[in-house]
Structure 1
Amino acid sequence: MLTIKNVSKIYNEGVTYQALKSIDLEIEAGEFVGIMGPSGSGKSTLLNLIGTIDQPTSGAIYLNGKEPAKLKSEELAKFRRNELGFIFQNFNLMPTLTVEENIILPLTLEGEKISVMKKKLKMIAIELGIDSLLKKKIATISGGQAQRVAIARAMIHEPKLILADEPTGNLDTRASADVMELLERLNQQKESTVLMVTHDPVAASYCKKIVFIKDGELVKQLNRQVERDVFYDSILETLREIEGVHHEF
C-alpha cells in the first residue's frame, strides 16, 4: 500500500545537506512498522515526505497507487485529509475545543453529516475508552488521555495510513504502554496500517517490523517473529551496532 522508490531529500538552506539517500521501502496494508535511528538520521524527514508535508528531491512515493507529490494543492489537501491520519508527540489538539470537537474535526472539514459524525464519534470513543471525556476541554485531561483523543481524531475518518511521530515522547511509562497497547490492538483488530517514528525501543517492540536509518540511508530491518521481550532485546542490540556505542535504556 506504500511504495518508496529511490527517494532522496536534499536541503539547500545556506549549506547543502542530504537528509535521505536513495531510500527504497515497501509497506503492506495492515503492517505496523517502526522507524528508528540516531538523532539526525532522517527519520522525521522520511515521515514528512510520506505525510506529504514535504516533497522528495528525487524518487517517488506511492500510496495505494497514487503519487501525492504530483497532485495540485487542493487535491493534495483532500488526499491528506482522507488518506492519512496523524499522531504527534505533542498531541496537536485544539485547547479551546472539547474532546469531541477535536475528534470530529476531520469530518467537520469534509462537511460530513451530523448524524454520521455522531455515530462515528460514539463508536470510536467507546473503543478507545474516552467516551466519558467527550464534553471536557483538552486542558483538563491527562497526557495519556490526550494522546487517546489524538488517536481517535487520526482514525475517525478511517484513513489508509496512520503516521505517528514519537507518540509516547511526552508520556510517562504507564501512559506510554497504554498508548502502544492501543495502537497494537487497532492494528490487529482493524488492520490499520501504522508507520511510527520512535527513539524508544520499548515502544518499537510493539511493531511487527522495524527499519533502521543511519546518515539518511536504510541500513537494517528487523521482523518480529518472537515474543515482544525477545524482540526488544534484538532492537537494543541493533541500535548498539548502528550507533557504535553501548546505550542503557
Structure 2
Amino acid sequence: MLQVKNLSKTYGDEIKYKALKALNLTVEDGEFIGIMGPSGSGKSTFLNLLATIDQPTSGTIELNGKNPNELNQEAIAKFRRRELGFVFQNFNLMPTLTVEENIVLPLTLDGEKISVMKKKLSRLSEQLGIAPLLKKRIAEISGGQAQRAAVARAMIHQPQLLLADEPTGNLDTKSSKDVMKLLQQLNKREKATILMVTHDPLAASYCQRIVFIKDGQLIGEIRQMNGQKQFYNEIMVNLAKIEGVENEF
C-alpha cells in the first residue's frame, strides 16, 4: 500500500547535507512497522516526507498508487487530512477544546454530518476506553489519556496510513505499555497500517517489523517471529551493532 523508491533528501545550498540517501521501502496493507536508528540518522526526515510536511529532493512516495507530491497545495492538504493519521510525542491536542472536540476535529474540518461524527466518536471512544473522558478538557486528563485521545483523533477518519513519531516519548512506563497495546490492538483488529519512529526498544517490540536507518540509509530489518520477548532481545542486539557498542557487553 506504500511504495518508497530511491527517496533522497538534501538540505542546504552551499553546504549540502544528505539526510536521506536513495531509501527504498515497501509497506503492505495492515503492517505495523517500527523505524529505529541513532539520533540524526534520518528517521524524522523520513517521517516528514511520508507526512507530506516536507518534499523529497528525489525519488517517489506512492500511497495506494497516489504520489502526493504531484498534487497542488490544496490537494495535498486534503490528502494529508483524509489519507493520513498522525500521533506525536507531544500529543498536539488543542488545550481549549474538550477531548471530544479534539477527536472529531478532522471530521469537522471536512464538514462531516454531526450524526456521522457522533456515531464514529461513540464507537472509537468505547473501543479505546476513553468514553468517560469526552467532556473533559485536555488539562484535566493524564498524559496516557491524552495520548489515547490523540490516537482516537488520528483514527477517527479511518486513514490509509497512521504515522506515529515517538508516541511514548513523554509517557511513564505503564502509560507507554498501554499506548503500545492500543496501537497493536488497532493494527490487529482494525487492520490499521502503522509506521512508528521510536528510540524505545520496548515500544518497538510491539511491532511486526523493524526497519533500521543509519546515516540516511536503510541498513537492515528484522521481523517478529518468536514472540515479543525474543523480538525485544533481537532489537537490543541490532541497536548495539548499529551504535557500534556490541563489543562493550
Give TM class, smaller chain. Answer: over 0.9
2:172 is equivalent to residue 172 of structure 1:
yes
Q: CA deviation at 1:245?
A: 1.3
Partner of 2:155: 155
Partner of 1:16: 16
Partner of 1:211: 211
Change (3 A) 1:86 1:207: same
Change (3 A) 1:12 1:236: same
Q: CA deviation at 1:247?
A: 10
Inter-partner Cα distance in structure 2 for 1:93 and 1:64: 29
Inter-partner Cα distance in structure 2 for 1:25 and 1:246: 27
Partner of 1:3: 3
Q: CA deviation at 1:16?
A: 1.2
Matching of residues 19-38 of structure 1 within 5 Å:
19-38=19-38
Q: CA deviation at 1:15?
A: 2.8
Partner of 1:132: 132
Partner of 2:39: 39
Partner of 2:76: 76
Partner of 2:141: 141
Runs of 4+ in 1 over 3 A off after TM superposition: none
Partner of 1:59: 59
Deviation readout 1:176-226 (Å, 9 max, x if unpaired): 000000000110000000000000000000000000000000001001111
Counterpart of 1:36 in structure 2: which amino acid? Answer: M
Change (3 A) 1:125 1:144: same
Partner of 1:100: 100
Equivalenced residue count is: 248
Inter-partner Cα distance in structure 2 for 1:142 and 1:246: 38
Inter-partner Cα distance in structure 2 for 1:79 and 1:26: 20
Question: Helix, strand or coil: the match of 1:120?
Answer: helix
Inter-partner Cα distance in structure 2 for 1:194 and 1:46: 14
Q: Which runs of 5+ in 2 are unaligned?
A: none
Superposed CA RMSD? 1.2
Deviation readout 1:62-88 (Å, 9 max, x if unpaired): 000000001001110000000000000
Question: Helix, strand or coil: the match of 1:40?
Answer: coil
Q: CA deviation at 1:14?
A: 5.7
TM-score (norm 2): 0.98
Q: CA deviation at 1:10?
A: 0.1
Counterpart of 2:199 in structure 1: which amino acid? Answer: H
Change (3 A) 1:94 1:234: same
Matching of residues 213-228 of structure 1 within 5 Å:
213-228=213-228
TM-score (norm 1): 0.98
Q: Which runs of 5+ in 1 are unaligned?
A: none
Inter-partner Cα distance in structure 2 for 1:169 and 1:226: 26
Q: CA deviation at 1:13?
A: 5.8
Deviation readout 1:126-156 (Å, 9 max, x if unpaired): 0000000000000110000000000000000
Identity %: 66
Question: Helix, strand or coil: the match of 2:61?
Answer: strand
Question: Helix, strand or coil: the match of 1:118?
Answer: helix
Question: Helix, strand or coil: the match of 1:15?
Answer: coil
Inter-partner Cα distance in structure 2 for 1:8 and 1:89: 25
Question: Helix, strand or coil: the match of 1:55?
Answer: coil
Inter-partner Cα distance in structure 2 for 1:239 and 1:125: 36
